[in-house]
Chain A
Amino acid sequence: MVELRDGIKVKIGLEIHVQLKTSSKLFCSCPTDYRDKPANVNICPICTGQPGAKPMGLNSKALEQLLKIGLALGCGFNHDVVVMRKHYFYPDLPTGFQRTSRSIGYEGKLGKIRIREIHIEEDPGRYELRQGTVDYNRAGVPLVEIVTEPDMESPEDARLFLDELDAILNYLDAGRDEPGSLRVDANISINQQTDHGLIEGTRVEIKNINSFKGVFDALNYEIVRQNNVLRRGGKIERETRHFDESTGSTVSLRKKETEEDYRYMPDPDVPPILISEDRILKIKEKLPELPRQKAERLEKQYKIKQDGAWILSMDMNLAKLFEELVFKVESKGVIIDAQKIASWIRGPLKKQLNYRKITYAESCLNSEWISDLLVMFFKDELTDRGAEQVLIAMIDKKENPREAAEKMNLLKSKDQGEVERFVDEVLSSQKKAVDDYLAGNEKSLNFLIGQVIKATKGRADSKVVKELILKKIKKE
């Protein structure tokens, strides 16, 4: 986190481009799955701008996805979609202009961040600068552009906003979730709060950041860079910069003395598309419970901590898992605080998922098996370590929890005698540790307990082992 001087206020606004989840492109029926495809196979005269080709009707699924997003962001709506031509020359632009609409949704809000507007536009193709080749498979894929007001005051704010937006897109199944599906342009200015008011800084734009972490890093870098320039008495230039993922720094692209003139013109080939109030209402009715609402409800309904509820709600599948587990664990006869389940998900489950760099949905786990595991755990049939081993077997070997527990002999040893034997063995082979403990070293006790647990392959209860060790040592 960057430390700012007193009186410095950072203003950040984001323009987020997300590929909408549709099977066809925005103005033609070419498929939208371009990753792992040979170049220039998902193309037709329309999306390659052949002489004479014209756009077909605006993809209604794309519009529906956009309306869902707009509703989730609390936007008002303009009732006609006017598609404009935005003119510039670039190899990835097949017609020499991009089709982009006037704003469709406007004046929304997500948390404390206001949404200025959202609109629809075509993705250009992919230009390989070094090889001088262009692949038009991506040209014409539908994008939603979400423009925020500069209400974010730190890179952290930006990150939280993007996380929640991402969760919303997931819940709505409205956005594609593949590498490159989401691109962010970040605008940042450093302003000084003085006694005379706010002195506005110069706005710098950082274009085409491909990851959330990238946004966070780019903004942090910019704050440091701009701070340094100002400290040295320099001036911030109004410019566009590029974020280099490999070095974590921003690089100047071009100076923005004047705004580029795209000569926007309503596209004569695309008559305005009307959105009826009725259509919007129908879509609104079918919206699922959204992350923020879900977090509030989970907190209230299950009496779990706010930050835990939030973390669960950021992942639709985890939130679902949580509620299913609460129900299933109880129906299998274990009465327990929902908070314990939430903590288990946040702790041991997340640990294994993060280690394998997968999401819950990718793990092939299911709530039925997990509830069985938790039942065993909460009934004290498994130790912490044992439960962990079982979970690992469930993920990696797709084994049923009860079978895995039995196979690995993890069910807590009820046989006191067996544990006692291991305690005796350890105490006799670890004489130095025993002496150290008796001399006052508490750590040696933990060491001895650990040795017994190890010997029992995690099946012994650590509390019981401690009691036994202390009993036996004191005897001597």
Chain B
Amino acid sequence: MSIDSVEEKIHQKLDLIKKKDHEINAFIEVYEQDAVNQAREVDKRIKEGKAGPLAGIIVGIKNNIAIKGKLLTCGSEILKTHHATYDATVVKKLKEADAIIIGSLNMDEFACGSDGTYSRIKITKNPLDLERVPGGSSAGSGAAVAAGFCDATLGSDTGGSVRCPAAFCNSYGFKPTYGAVSRYGLSDMAMSLDQIGIISKDKEIVKKVFSVISGKDEKDQTTQLAENLKKEGEIKRIGIPVEFFESIDGRIEKAVRSRIKELESNFEVEEVSIPTLKYTVPIYQLVMAAELSSALQRYDGLRYGLAADRNDELYSAFANVREHFGNEIKRRIMIGTYITMKEFKDAWYTQALKARERMKIEFKEVMGKVDIVAGPAMPMPPWKFNEISDPLQLYAADTLTIAANLTGLPALVEPLSDSIFDGAIQFYGRHFDDFILLSFD
């Protein structure tokens, strides 16, 4: 523990944020007074020897995770002025562990995006190169860590939305096993894919935070198996799927292969193949869109957010509110609605579900032979703003991260150097091997 009190540390961070964030735009809200008050409390508890395991750790929270009384915009127009009425489970746990929650972080609208430019609130920049994107959809979470505003940030990861900004901002990014961390309080994007993840420059901090926020929660029934999280285990064999190296930026491939070479001295490294990876993006697009259209049905302007016009006829009132979704959201809602209609279900959605099962089986087979698989985290370095306008190109950026969400496997992204152009390496572990994955090497 440094000689600075937590309160002093908070003031340092707040000053840095005041100085730099107007350029970077990582934050939606900075909880200046709350953070200072919390810091004082924590200092007291440290003196009394009663401090929680995260005492002194400063955390930023992606703005789709509910903090009672604070703005929960989800990066959208519709929730621009909505304040959450309760704390997400992970937020409760962080507070109980004496972490300081310093503010809420910018994101792509309803977590749909890979570079942060789909936020309806502001555009976040990559602190390592202000002309480039920080990654998405947890854009602010990546940027805040890279800029030194937070020790760690929470994001949400549905197809790579924690690992992409981590890679682009040269930090560790971790997506837990599906069901290891409670999603209660996380606004849904795709319920069977979403997990709350952690970004930090320090892997030990990632592990500490994960330790606090993971665990079974009666308010999220999909965490029933969280007690299966293994405390110990060994990594001996690493598999390198050939499919992970298709169409990768040359410099990134070089850096990743070089890292793998280093690993060969301590681990058995072998090439493997997971053929269904070829279909990663289409499977994801269909499954995600179907679940997203369901997740966003609740936004009708009656209970929270942008209000429906009382003088309107019923369905017009709903439509007029939902008109305020961004184009990308509308696109995905339409696709999701279309493919889940009776007439079209078997042509698209059912096939995607079958392919997803196939992918799970293939991964299970491979993970029976090796303990983790490795490859690049992102196929290209962070692009410049406005460099990519075609949504299909953007979707392809997720091609290496999505499989972890489709299978529910835990995945860790590790920066390779100080340069964002070297990219990052990504490791997938077995279900509930999270602690092992965070400890190896």
Q: What is A's interface to B at a CB cutoff of 8 Å?
A: 45-46, 48-57, 85, 87, 89, 91, 94-97, 132, 134, 261, 263, 265, 267-271
Contact = CB atoms under 8 A, between A and B. Distances in A.
B416 to A, nearest CB: 35
Contact of A269 (B72, B187, B221, B299): B221
Nearest to B73: A51
B345 to A, nearest CB: 8
Given A52-B188, A56-B218, A265-B290, A132 B310 contact: yes
Nearest to A266: B192
Interface string B132-166: 00000000000000000000000000000000000
A268 B297 contact: no
A271 B341 contact: no
Contacts of A54: 183-184, 219-221
Nearest to A270: B221
Chain A, interface SS category: loop
B303 A94 contact: yes
A269 B291 CA distance: 11
A50 B302 contact: no
A51 B85 CA distance: 9
Contact of B303 (A49, A97, A268, A270): A49
B320 interface: no
Contact of A268 (B74, B191, B318, B337): B191
A57 B218 contact: yes
B342 interface: yes
Contact of B314 (A45, A48, A91, A261): A91
Given A52-B84, A94-B303, A271-B224, 19 more contacts: A45-B85, A50-B84, A50-B86, A50-B303, A51-B64, A51-B74, A52-B88, A52-B183, A53-B184, A54-B221, A57-B221, A87-B297, A89-B300, A95-B297, A96-B296, A263-B337, A265-B294, A267-B191, A269-B222
B186 to A, nearest CB: 5
A207 B291 CA distance: 30
| Interface band, chain B | 35 or more
A49 B74 CA distance: 15
Chain B, interface SS category: loop
B191 A52 contact: no
B224 A50 contact: no
B292 to A, nearest CB: 12
A89 B291 CA distance: 16
Contacts of B342: 261, 263
A49 B295 CA distance: 10
B427 to A, nearest CB: 26
A271 B72 CA distance: 27
B399 interface: no
B339 to A, nearest CB: 9
A57 B294 CA distance: 20
A56 B315 contact: no
A56 B294 CA distance: 18
B65 interface: yes
A51 B86 contact: no
Nearest to B315: A89
A96 B290 CA distance: 14
Contacts of A52: 64-66, 72, 84, 88, 183-188
Nearest to A88: B297
Nearest to A27: B221
B340 A265 contact: yes
Contact of B294 (A53, A87, A134): A87
B82 interface: yes
Contacts of A265: 290-291, 294, 340
